[in-house]
Amino acid sequence: MKPIKQNRQQAFQKDRENRGRLLITCPDQPGIVAAVSQFLSSHRANIIESSQYSTNPEGGVFFIRIEFECPDLESKRELLQASFDDIAQNFSMDWKLFFVKELKRAAIFVSKELHCLRELLLEWESGDLMADIPLVISNHPDAKDFVESFGVPFVHIPANKNNRQEAEQQQLRLLEEYDIDVIILARYMQILTSGFVEAYAEKIINIHHSFLPAFVGAKPYDRAFERGVKIIGATSHYVTNDLDEGPIIEQDVKRVNHRDQVEDLKKNGKIIERSVLVRAVKWHIDDRIIVHENKTIVF
């Protein structure tokens, strides 16, 4: 573990040892915010940040994210969870309570293109990606030296359409062994089976170029160049069994023109991909995302 990252993680965890986050989805109706606020106040919790959204004040769906400080939070863990359940049932809430000092454990999956992997590990090493990364898995050996230079275990599991089930069983065993909370597909060029996706529902984050569905398949940048595209971009989303159609977390674009060649498009595409993926991952580990149907609310 690098000193900068270790120091920042320890400082983060100490500073937030009494910090919690509450994410709620429920039918919109009067009294929700008052009830939640009163509940937190009754446990001497102080609200640090609160963001909310309603699809429709009359008969819509209500979403709220609250970050709070609560003295001796760890000792109140079971009490908070048990006592809040009464409020949750009264308002038909789907809710999650997170303890901020407990860093999420992320596994990165990668193939041969390493630009997103590099960005993630550099952000992590500097202490700007506040998570644990105990494992990188790849279906190619190309990233081994780079990953291990960060002190992160690298596991090469060859995977293709002929051995997909066997490869995924190895991967799932490792994910369980390392107690992984979120999987980041940093240009992992394999299709995941439905069983794998269901095992980590809303916990697998992917990145792809934003030519989909216009230029699916091989050599999308070549075909985009032939069509004279004027905008390139990237999309990060949660993985579902509908290929590349999961809930979108973040997107970005950049204008290009007739002077840009295929290699220029690819270079700029990589720049956008790595920044979009890092933002999406940070929002996930900061508990800023609520998934509703096939959309996300990002606070």
- One domain, residues 114 and 94: no
- One domain, residues 95 and 242: no
Question: For position 95, what pLDDT does the model report?
Answer: 98
237 inside domain: yes
- One domain, residues 259 and 126: yes
Domain end, chosen from 99, 127, 149, is at 99
Q: Burial, 271: exposed, middle or buried (Cβ in 10 Å; 0-12, 13-18, 19+)?
A: middle
> What's the longest Cα–Cα distance across the chain?
63
265 inside domain: yes
Is the preceding omega at residue 213 within 30 degrees of 0, hence cis? Answer: yes
Tell me the mean pLDDT per 10 residues along the chain, length 299: 74 94 97 97 97 92 98 95 94 97 98 97 96 97 97 96 94 98 97 96 95 81 93 96 93 96 96 98 98 96
Question: For position 290, what pLDDT does the model report?
Answer: 98
Task: Give the domain extent around 74.
Answer: 17-99
State how many domains the chain has.
2
- One domain, residues 109 and 149: yes
87 inside domain: yes
- One domain, residues 245 and 199: yes
Question: For position 182, what pLDDT does the model report?
Answer: 98
- DSSP assignment string, 164-179: HHHHHHHHHHHHHHTT
CATH number of the domain encompassing residue 220: 3.40.50.170
7 inside domain: no
- One domain, residues 21 and 86: yes
Domain end, chosen from 72, 99, 126, is at 99
To which H or E segment does residue 19 belong?
A: strand 19-27
- One domain, residues 120 and 263: yes
- One domain, residues 147 and 173: yes
- One domain, residues 25 and 145: no
Question: For position 170, what pLDDT does the model report?
Answer: 97
8 inside domain: no
- One domain, residues 201 and 87: no
- C-alpha distance from residue 269 to each of 66, 207, 237, 253, 256 (Å): 35, 11, 16, 9, 10
Annotated active-site positions, please? 244
Question: For position 2, what pLDDT does the model report?
Answer: 52
Q: Are 209 and 233 in contact (CB under 8 A)?
A: yes
The pairing of strands 182-185 and 105-110 is: parallel
Question: For position 206, what pLDDT does the model report?
Answer: 98
292 inside domain: yes
